[in-house]
Structure 1
Amino acid sequence: MAAALFSFGVSSASAEPTEIVVRVLSKDAKFIGTSMGGMRITLRDAETGEMLATGLTEGTTGDTSLLMHTRGGRRAQLSDATAAKYQATLDLDVPRLIEVEAFGPLAQRQAAQRIVSSQWVIPGRHINKGDGWVLELPGFAVDVLAPPAHVRVGDVTSVDVRANVVTMCGCPVEPKGIWDADTYEVEAIVSLDGKTVARVPLAFAGETSQFAGSVPVAAPGFYDVLVYAYDPATGNTGVDRTTFIAARK
């Protein structure tokens, strides 16, 4: 379903409606839509900065069989009728260099990123066929589930860390799956009072998209735990972090 239409451009008698469809594709995965809160799309005049339209991508992640295959050529279409998109109709009277900005995914703010692209748009010459204007968003959405931020721990020698890792479109990660957990590097980098004291690999935890491990607690102080996921095949990388406080023993 198309998003609500917005048009901020100044129209004139000679202005022509020009439709633009924008989709955001998670790198090595599917489209980012309603299930991840959508992407905030903003269209601007790249030369003047004038805002022309804004809204969210809405719809599904798309058809897996269209997206996750090795065949297909230059004109291969990736989207189906349900694939998430943002659609706007601009009233243009002259050719404009249009900049599109995408920010999100909005349901995972700790993972949200901003990407920008630009191209010339001619009045009445729509950008709505095939997949439309496609932007690719790299990364993983990493969400540290434990320990909760700023928790105090007692007389312990280790603290359990658990994180959820999905693609930016929300697609699941698991061993031997389309997004193969066995090929990803997931690690916790532990700092104590600002100094790195340990790096701990996190292993698949038996539940879809979840990884776990235990980080050492060798001394009292303020611990920062940065968890990253990295795919060496694509360069996709995502990060989240948490903190805990170890009391004196």
Structure 2
Amino acid sequence: MLKNLFLGLIFLFSGLTFSQIPAKETKVMVRAQAKDAKFIGTSMGSARIVIKDVLSGEILAQGLTEGGTGDTELIMNKPIARNAKISTEGTAGFLASIKLTEPRLVTIEAYGPLDKKHSIAKASTQTWLIPGKDILGDGIILPISGFVVEIISPEAVTSSTISEFTFEANVIMMCGCPVTSGGMWNADQYEVNAQITNLDTQNEQELILKPNGETNRFSAKSTLEKGNYELLMYAFDPETGNSGVDKKIISID
């Protein structure tokens, strides 16, 4: 009798599945932070966050970071003690709410900044999510490296009787933070160059662009003959390894 009861209990519990266990809502805050800078939020078109199961690939949550870039003093200047928070109310982030019946190993990805398509970069990490165990506060911070570099001049098609042109780039941090000489993000320590290739002759030249006094702007002058050129401009920070590139074809007639 006892043996039959015991076997019956085993059969009963073995028939239970995780799908029959009540799901627990689990909240996860995810933020994307520009390397050596602040958070990527609404002002830069946000960062896209994707949380998916490692084994099955199932997307458990996805959305955009919303909010501001955060407190400059807190993020950039104050020494960060263990467990100290660097986010404040309104700091950009994506709050996921996921119903879990069991622990799941997930990949968390961030893509951004979405407003600057040619500069979008990806960062990711993996962690276990436990049912009912929220990850809040700063949450999970994904660092995104790079600069946003945009060619300002010359224009793609230029009709001109002069041979000297201004080559100008706009360079900002991935969070949109400004780059200025002697500033928090010091333009004087960044290397900004233009590589110019004549597509007709394959002749190449390289220019060093310098801060020109305007926020985020670097420029240099050089002569060009009429023709078609590939223009590539890059920014590089030897201190942090941040880098960014923009490229376009220009025609001078």
What code does the residue aligned with 1:186 have? V
Residues of 1 paired with 2:252 and 2:170: CA distance? 24
Secondary structure in 2 aligned to 1:131? Answer: strand
**Aligned residue for 2:214?**
207
What code does the residue aligned with 1:132 have? G
- Unaligned stretches of 5+ in structure 2? 1-17
1:221, distance to aligned residue in structure 2 (A)? 3.1
- Unaligned stretches of 5+ in structure 1? 1-9
Residues of 2 paired with 1:206 and 1:242: CA distance? 25
Secondary structure in 2 aligned to 1:164? Answer: strand
Q: Does 1:222 align with 2:220?
A: no
Secondary structure in 2 aligned to 1:143? Answer: strand
1:80-102, Cα deviation, whole Å (9 max, x unpaired): 11110001110011111111111
**Aligned residue for 2:51?**
43
1:222, distance to aligned residue in structure 2 (A)? 1.8
Residues of 2 paired with 1:114 and 1:166: CA distance? 18
2:38 pairs with one of 30, 34, 51: 30
Residues of 1 paired with 2:232 and 2:146: CA distance? 16
**Aligned residue for 1:163?**
169
Q: Does 1:127 align with 2:173?
A: no
Q: Does 1:176 align with 2:182?
A: yes
Residues of 2 paired with 1:229 and 1:70: CA distance? 27
Residues of 2 paired with 1:34 and 1:131: CA distance? 17
Secondary structure in 2 aligned to 1:132? Answer: strand
Residues 27 and 138 in structure 1, CA contact (< 8 A), matched pair in contact too: yes
For residues 246 and 134 of structure 1, do their structure 2 counterparts lie closer, same or farther at Cα, with a shift above 3 Å needed? same
For residues 50 and 196 of structure 1, do their structure 2 counterparts lie closer, same or farther at Cα, with a shift above 3 Å needed? farther
1:110, distance to aligned residue in structure 2 (A)? 1.6
What code does the residue aligned with 1:211 have? F
Stretch of structure 1 that moved more, 68-77 or 92-101: 68-77
Compute the TM-score of the two structures, normalised by the length of structure 1.
0.89
Runs of at least 4 residues off by over 6 Å:
none
Secondary structure in 2 aligned to 1:178? Answer: coil
More helix by share: 2
Residues of 1 paired with 2:122 and 2:231: CA distance? 24
Equivalent runs, 1:66-85 vs 2, <5 Å: 66-69=74-77, 71-85=79-93
Stretch of structure 1 that moved more, 175-184 or 61-70: 61-70
**Aligned residue for 2:10?**
none
For the aligned residues, what is the CA RMSD? 1.8
Q: Does 1:137 align with 2:130?
A: no
Compute the TM-score of the two structures, normalised by the length of structure 2.
0.87
Residues of 2 paired with 1:23 and 1:11: CA distance? 30
**Aligned residue for 2:7?**
none
1:7-39, Cα deviation, whole Å (9 max, x unpaired): xxx975421100010001100000000110100
2:120 pairs with one of 104, 108, 112: 112
How many correspondences in the alignment?
A: 235
For residues 64 and 11 of structure 1, do their structure 2 counterparts lie closer, same or farther at Cα, with a shift above 3 Å needed? farther
1:179-219, Cα deviation, whole Å (9 max, x unpaired): 0111111110111118461110111121111111124314x
Residues of 2 paired with 1:126 and 1:95: CA distance? 12
Q: Percent of counterpart pairs with the same letter?
A: 42
2:242 pairs with one of 233, 236, 240: 236
1:146 pairs with one of 141, 153, 173: 153
